[in-house]
Structure 1
Amino acid sequence: MSHIAKTNLTQAQLDAHWMAYTGNREFKKDPRIISTASGHYYTDADGRQIFDGLSGLWTCGLGHSVPAINEAVANQVKTLDYSPAFQFGHEKSFQLAEKISDFMPAGLNRVFFTGSGSESVDTALKVARAYWRKKGLGTKTKFIGRAKGYHGAGISGFSVGGIPANRILYGQGLESYHLPHTQVPGTEFSKGMADTGKERAEDLLNMIAMHDASNIAAVIVEPMSGSAGVIVPPKGYLQRLREICDQHNILLIFDEVITAFGRMGAQSGSEAFGVTPDVITMAKQVTNGVIPMGAAVFKQEIYDTFMDTGGADYMLEIPHGYTYSAHPIACAAGLASLETIRSQGLIERVNQMSPVWEKYVHSLKGASDAITDIRNYGFAAGITLAAVDGEPAKRPYQIAMSMWDKGYYVRYGGDTIQLAPPFTTEESEMSSLIDALGESIKKFG
């Protein structure tokens, strides 16, 4: 079914935009144009309502066009549209930093604002290297990521990331090494955290033996790997990483661009899985996707190290930052987003409704031989699909396009379909989404 956009776009305009993470040639033959959004639904240029099965890009857990956020942004535009990010401040950045800290584990209370998740990761990695130099341990420069990890699109992010398609085109990045992922044979169709797989953390000891802790600055992992298809940590795995990092004087960074602020049914992935890292990176849900914003949150001791060695108090403690760090409009959106999460009890709702979501997602088991695994945690789920004639990305693409035709937006990536409904999704919407997905999988299974 074709949905040529009913817009005033010309072919020249379509050609001018080099789209991100998109098959540009395929898209421009039959563009899928979204015109409006409200609540849990998009409206496309043909006037069809499309259920948002991924909360934007894991960003809009509150749904779309949230009145409190819209009002906060509109008011901010009228009062202070931009404030210089360097050497001067505005009230809302300090208010938002405190509010973010309230969502973080105890001890992570120093917030450095960025413009995206990619910038947040870059900030965390730069600070990690600088921190060890400040401590007189300047040889600690290497990083350890994880296979199937995603840490943004910057050169540091693809270096520590472990999705091959995101790496192979770009050549040499930062000196980084990768732990194995935690999808262990025998754990397929686990509900929540698998009972086995913790042993994969022991590979970190092998890497330390090979490279020596004196050369390793940090380990960076997503508590739950989202972009690779919702890979949930096995029981005890993150705790073991924390223990090893502590034993060998290595920083542990959690990339929580997807997991922070409610998606896991907790304030953060750290809280959900019971492990506190040294640094947490974030973006997406902090403003509900309304305005680009990210942050890296550091433990007190890291911040104090820079303050204590900063020289004269008018000098920069760290030469780092972005033009749009702590942008006033983004801060206003962030304050309204986090206040809405709290005032409406949405974290508690996700926690309460997660078993219902789990039931529907796992009802797809056995619906088609093409389904080789299903994983879930909180309001997130990933479905792995068998390859078609050696083309692992083809079937997910076909299924996602079928879903779009049916009126549902889901994400396809690699060999997976990924789902992340808004926090206020009703059971009837879960049911219809999964029913439609089952039909689409059977069609191309």
Structure 2
Amino acid sequence: MGNPTDHLWMHFTRMGAYAESAVPTIVRGDGCYVWDTDGKRYLDGLAGLFVVNAGHGRQELAEAAAKQASELAYFPLWSYAHPKAVELAERIAGLAPGDLNRVFFTTGGSEAVESAWKLARAYFKRVGQPLRHKVISRYVAYHGTSMGALSLTGVPPFKVDFEPLVPGAIKVPNANFYRAPEFCRDDEEEFGRWAADEIERAILREGPETVCAVFLEPVQNAGGCLPPPAGYFQRVREICDRYGVLLVSDEVICAWGRLGSYFGAQRYAYQPDIITTAKGLTSGYSPLGAMIAADRLIEPFLGDKQMFAHGITFGGHPVSCAVALANLDLFEREDLVGHVAATSDAFRATLSRLHDLPIVGDVRGDGYFFGIELVKDKTTRETFSDAESERILRGFLSHALYDAGLYCRADDRGDPVVQLSPPLIAEQQQFDEMEQILRSVLTDAWTLL
């Protein structure tokens, strides 16, 4: 195998960083672990990229893919159907909350988010509200890389090279209680009401007749696993109902057991109008995403000569659908969702031991989805400067954690955090291993400040 950087253009990667060093190259996975070309083992503390929910090396998922490929490797869903897409859509509709019974398949999360915004705009045009085209999302939130999804994304550095983006994407505060405004810093419910009411204020500023949807993750990824305050989503649902705005639950990460429920909306007891999802639907064994919509949203497109003019060549690919069905069978057989619900508190408690380190400001998240926010001063919650973040996160932590045998994410889209999202099969042994490696590496990182 040649030098990977000679031809391979890696995603979200500073290619120059490998001018004089080897690219880490992973060749095998089993359970919660992966191995590189040198045979070194790493604990996969990120499930690949919040994806490999069932764990690596699941032979039954590989066999499902091979069997389907030998029968029908490909056929589009453009005016035709195939059995696995029909069966999977029915399966997903049975698991989704409320009347989310219409499943539009994509190949990944960005496409699912893009599809949801397009559906919201098209739906309102069809029902006589053509001015509704704007969307509301949160600061620091990441919703994808296609032009619509990137417009929803609230991470400015990711957007600069591609502006101007799709107009009409409005941003509101996120649910980072650790960074709450002074007036509600000591009252999480008050903070939640304020953050939700900021959505109402944005709708009123823009004009309710122009807003079609609000896009929110159950637990926000970027910024470091931000769970919602109690009552937040119930208040958001009330606001959306009041102004006739669709609530989109972006669950590209948060579905399929990541939070200890099939969908994050179920975990926090709110009813969205649309769910966008991908990643863990197949545990990464084949690409697949979906937009899951309420029954009423398809109604304008069911009449004679009507069509939702949107489609994706590989959306609902037969092999991917077969893998997803086998993945859901595995989930049921091993009760992976129940396992996460039963052990999440132990995972949180294990990571919370790190609070005794001076560099650890906050440990937050839910299910198997946690972030550790790093600070310079625990008392004042002072964060790193840009230069310190560059030196600590990119210059040291990312490499040091990997060298110590832990694959996870050191990130500063917002405040500096380390994110952990292991396969849903992880046990206390893996929790302890993560904590021990983090303790050692974060202790060394503190000396660099």
Q: Report if the CA contact (8 A) 1:150-1:228 is conserved.
A: no
Stretch deviating more after TM superposition (98-107 or 259-268) = 98-107
Contact 2:178–2:362 (Cα < 8 Å) also in 1 = no
Percent of aligned positions with the same letter in both sequences?
31
**CA 1:113/1:233 → structure 2, altered by over 3 Å: closer, same or farther?**
same
State the one-letter code of the partner of 1:334: A
Partner of 2:379: none
Distance, in Å, in 2 between the alignment partners of 1:388 and 1:27 is 25
Cα distance, 1:366 vs structure 2? 2.3
Pairing of 1:14-413 with structure 2 (within 5 A)? 14-28=5-19, 29-174=21-166, 175-185=168-178, 194-198=188-192, 199-307=194-302, 310-311=303-304, 315=305, 317-367=307-357, 369-386=358-375, 388-391=384-387, 392-397=389-394, 398-413=396-411
| Paired residue type of 1:268 | F
Over 6 Å off, 4+ runs: none
> Structure 1 residues 394, 113: closer, same or farther in 2, change over 3 A?
farther
Q: Which residue of 1 aligns with 2:429?
A: 428
- AA at the equivalent of 1:16: H
Give the distance between the partners of 2:163 and 2:402, measured in 1 at CA: 35
- Superposed displacement of residue 196, structure 1: 4.6
- Which letter maps to 1:379? Y
The answer to whether the Cα contact below 8 Å between 1:59 and 1:289 also exists between their aligned partners in 2 is yes
Q: How far apart, CA to CA, are the structure 1 residues paired with 2:88 and 2:126?
A: 28
- What is the match of residue 184 of structure 2? none
Residue 31 of structure 1: how far off its partner (Å)? 1.0
Where does structure 2 lack aligned partners over 5 or more consecutive residues? 182-186, 376-382
Aligned to 1:235, the other structure's residue is in SS state coil
- What count of residue pairs does the alignment treat as equivalent? 426
* Mapped partners of 1:149, 1:197: distance in 2: 18
Task: Using the TM superposition, give the Cα deviation of residue 197 of structure 1 relative to its aligned residue in structure 2, in angstroms.
Answer: 2.1
Which whole-Å CA distance do the structure 2 matches of 1:185 and 1:426 have between them? Answer: 28
The 1-side partners of 2:126 and 2:17 are apart by: 50
| Aligned-partner SS, 2:212 | strand
Q: Deviations over 1:74-119 (max 9, x none)?
A: 1011111111231221100010001111221021010000011000
1:261 is paired with a residue of what secondary structure?
coil
1:362 and 1:136 mapped to 2: Cα distance? 52
Q: Which whole-Å deviations, capped at 9, do the CAs of 1:355-402 have from their partners, x for residues lacking one? A: 1001011111121x2222221201111011235553334423322211
Compare 193-202 and 380-389 and name the one that shifted more.
Answer: 193-202
Distance 2:29 2:247 in 1: 38
8 Å CA contact 1:121–1:157 kept in 2: the answer is yes
Q: Distance in 1 between matches of 2:120 and 2:24?
A: 41
Unaligned runs of 5+ in 1: 1-7
CA contact (8 A) 2:177 2:188 kept: no
Q: In structure 2, do the counterparts of structure 1 residues 196 and 422 end up closer, same or farther at CA, with 3 Å as the change threshold?
A: farther
C-alpha displacement of 1:432: 1.2
Structure 1 CA distance for aligned equivalents of residues 11 and 139 of structure 2: 22
TM-score, length of structure 1 as denominator length:
0.92
| Structure 1 residue matching 2:323: 3-state secondary structure | helix
Find the residue that maps to 1:197 and give its secondary structure: helix
- TM (norm. structure 2) is 0.92
Distance in 2, matches of 1:419 and 1:405, equals: 16
Deviation at 1:168, TM superposition (A): 2.5
